[in-house]
Amino acid sequence: MNENDSDVGHNKEELENKEELDNKEQLEVAVAWEALEDAFENNAPEVHSYLHFDTGEVIRIVDGVADPAMHTRILNDSRYLRIDPVSSREQYRWMERFIATVEEDELRRRLNIAIDGKGAFRRFKDALMSHPVDRERWFAFRSERLRSCMESWLTAHGIHSVERPNWHVPTAEDVQPEAPPEVPPEVPSKQKSGVQRSFREASPDANRTLVHDLVDAIAPGDVEMARVFLEFLRDRHLPPRLRAKDSSEAPEAQAPETADTADTESN
């Protein structure tokens, strides 16, 4: 192997190492292509677009609308990169090149007239409105050139576009609300009244037994109250004569014995 062959091999190895190093230094960004395409196409002087490295989204700031302080903060943030839109001159050349591909002579003539003078872009689009096939061809033609400009711009800034994450769209089964807890059916009012009637129609002995059970179950402090209420129910059905007799026969309360009373009885 001569010296020249050795130099060629060494240079080739250096180029391969440089390419590998460049690939490692590239920043991987999940670019939002549609938003980036809009930013490249919009070259209005009052519109400023920035690519966010972390999310791949494009933020657009319009002078006179956005907060100037926010614009300054984004300018000084290293996570944002200002997007350079395609110039009007370059987009005008795209229209000229597309017109050369139009087969219909009349449409080609109208498009050449449309791009002459101020307002060329709007008149160009209006002229294609009644020609849907050529209109779709123009959209594809322009998108291809925008894509080429975007890829060149990303490469120039060391950005490698990666696939954006797929967001899971919930299905109808995923968003169904949880079943509410089962609530026991409420007894209808008619059914309740039937139960009450059956209780009233029970035999006296059965009711007495139930009352005894209820008295045994209540708290000791409520026994006196229950007794007074039962006496009230008993006296309500007595004739007035017997009710007065019971009152007269009630034992009178004896006064407590005092020392004077004891002396008098002893004498």
Q: Which has the closest alpha carbon to 134: 101, 177, 180?
A: 101
Looking at the structure, tell me whether residues 158 and 208 fall in a common domain.
Answer: no
Amino acid at 217: A
- Indicate whether 254 belongs to any domain: no
Q: What is the pLDDT of residue 168?
A: 64
Q: What is the pLDDT of residue 196?
A: 52
Q: Which has the closest alpha carbon to 111: 89, 120, 119?
A: 120
Q: What is the pLDDT of residue 21?
A: 41
CA 170-172-178 angle, to 5 degrees, is 100
User: Residue 227 belongs to what domain range?
Assistant: 203-247
Structurally, the chain folds into a number of domains equal to 2
Looking at the structure, tell me whether residues 102 and 54 fall in a common domain.
Answer: yes
- Indicate whether 42 belongs to any domain: yes
- Indicate whether 232 belongs to any domain: yes
Which residues, including other chains, have CB under 8 Å from residue 27's CB and lie 6 or more apart? 53, 158, 159, 160
- Indicate whether 169 belongs to any domain: no
Global pTM value: 0.50
3-state secondary structure of 244: helix
Looking at the structure, tell me whether residues 153 and 220 fall in a common domain.
Answer: no
Looking at the structure, tell me whether residues 239 and 140 fall in a common domain.
Answer: no
Looking at the structure, tell me whether residues 26 and 122 fall in a common domain.
Answer: yes
Q: What is the pLDDT of residue 218?
A: 77
Looking at the structure, tell me whether residues 39 and 135 fall in a common domain.
Answer: yes
Two tokens at 90?
A: 């370059």
- Indicate whether 267 belongs to any domain: no
- Indicate whether 233 belongs to any domain: yes
Looking at the structure, tell me whether residues 35 and 137 fall in a common domain.
Answer: yes
Among 136, 163, 190, residue at a domain's last position: 163
- pLDDT digits over 64-117, tens only? 888 889 899 998 999 999 999 999 999 999 999 999 999 999 999 999 999 999
Rounded CA separation 120/111 (Å): 9
Q: What is the pLDDT of residue 207?
A: 74
Q: What is the pLDDT of residue 254?
A: 47
Residues in the chain predicted with pLDDT less than 70, given as ranges, are: 1-24, 167-170, 179, 183-203, 237-267
